[in-house]
Chains A and B, each alone.
Chain A
Amino acid sequence: MEISVTVNGVKHTAEVEGRTLLVHFVREQLGMTGTNIGCDTSSCGACSVHLDGEAVKSCTILAVQADGTEITTIEGMAGADGTLHPMQQAFMENHGLQCGYCTPGMVMAATSLLKENPNPTEEDVRLGLEGNLCRCTGYHNIVQSVLAAAKA
């Protein structure tokens, strides 16, 4: 069926199969490959994007379910002039990433977290990121990044 989705401010109208997942739609049909896939059980959060301003796992949403919504992916976070989003900047300054594969999902989850809780404690951040797995950083610097972004 045909769907219209606004992704990073641009409206896209496209034909999708019922079974097409939002993450496949964004990656394969729109060619925005910044959103990664890390599992098949909605466990890892690598595919997190914002749907109408809130972090969701784009591997667990059908593209047809996203019809008419506004999606923000990692490609939509930095400014048009290339200025990093404060969360991206905080991840860079605090070495909150290594291989970078979980990073887009982490950044999307973390910005959503701060929107709901602008002044989190370390425990709030750790619990708030319970749905995102990282194999490189041991999370220490990710947590520091989010706390730094909250203060920025």
Chain B
Amino acid sequence: MIPAAFDYARASSAEEAIALIGQYGDEAKFLAGGHSLLPLMKLRLAQPTVLVDIGRVPDLSYIREEGDQIAIGALTRHMDVETSPLLHQHVPLLAHAAGHVGDPQVRHRGTIGGSIAHADPASDLPATTLALGATYVAKGPNGTREIAAADFYHGFLTSALEADEMLVEIRVPKMNGAGWSFQKFNRRAQDWAIVGVAAWRRNGDAGVALVNMGSVPILATDVASAASSRIGSAIRRVTNWLDTSLAAAQADPQPDLNASADYRVHLAKVLTRRALEAASA
């Protein structure tokens, strides 16, 4: 319940945060909303020696329209994503998925950037932004760079972010009226997904990504061509893809208390079908 002791530093700008994290090195962690990190620290499963609090860095909480995209500041809270009229209009899948993260108290504190940077394959927003073809913007000592969501997730809780890089923005393409569905399967509403599927579909294009089917959130490939076909064949293509990617060990579902690996695969297929059906309705 009580974290191990650490030093605390509050950054007043992104530059300062990056400088601080560079100064303290590997044992330092960014602290945003804290809703991924603090639970681990309370059980002493994580014992960083320094926390760099970026929660007060100004101008990193926003949701704004930028051409074909919606740009979301990394410190934007889940509740603000969930309730954003702009997102409801242009990226309803993301707003909806954000409403499934944790519980209301968690959504009042947790941030989209924190969730993505934590790179937990069981989290809702990494897979959702992946399905949407999002781009993440990282800032480091040498300036900013863009990372496609598809290139971001490297392994369990590890990402393309360098140790001294900070996620500052998430850019999500507008959905332009695509049908969509977020299927979160769990036993209690507050829990992480046992398996989740984020999907959207419109004529000629589609995106599907899976929550908690391996060490990283998994993007279904070969779905764009499926998108133009009839729903039945689209579903077959995606489930075929799932079998293929399982065989290729891209998806590597692990057994845990709530699911065997087989069951996860089965659920992924059922939920993918349901998601595509709903997105096509």
Contact = CB atoms under 8 A, between A and B. Distances in A.
A51 B106 CA distance: 12
B188 A130 contact: yes
A57 B106 contact: yes
B109 A60 contact: yes
Contact of A18 (B7, B43, B108, B190): B7
B104 A131 contact: yes
A54 interface: yes
A60 B31 CA distance: 12
Interface string B92-109: 000000000011111011
A152 interface: no
B35 interface: yes
A124 B103 CA distance: 12
Contact of B190 (A37, A65, A113, A130): A130
B34 interface: yes
A8 interface: no
Interface residues of B, number: 31
A1 B106 contact: no
Nearest to A52: B108
A119 interface: no
Interface stretch (A39-47, A76-84, A88-96, A142-150): A39-47
B104 A18 contact: no
B247 interface: no
Contacts of A10: none
A17 B34 contact: no
B202 interface: no
A19 B39 contact: no
Interface of A: 1, 17-19, 21, 24, 37, 40-43, 45, 48, 51, 54-57, 59-62, 64-65, 109, 112-113, 116, 127-128, 130-132
26 contacts: A17-B5, A18-B5, A19-B2, A37-B1, A40-B1, A41-B39, A41-B43, A42-B106, A43-B190, A45-B103, A54-B108, A56-B109, A57-B106, A57-B109, A59-B1, A60-B109, A61-B34, A61-B109, A62-B51, A64-B8, A64-B10, A65-B34, A112-B108, A116-B104, A127-B189, A131-B102
Given A18-B51, A128-B104, A130-B188, 11 more contacts: A19-B41, A41-B42, A42-B39, A42-B106, A43-B190, A45-B103, A55-B105, A57-B109, A112-B104, A112-B108, A130-B190
The 8 closest A-B pairs by CB, nearest first: A131-B103, A18-B8, A130-B189, A40-B1, A19-B3, A54-B108, A130-B190, A57-B105
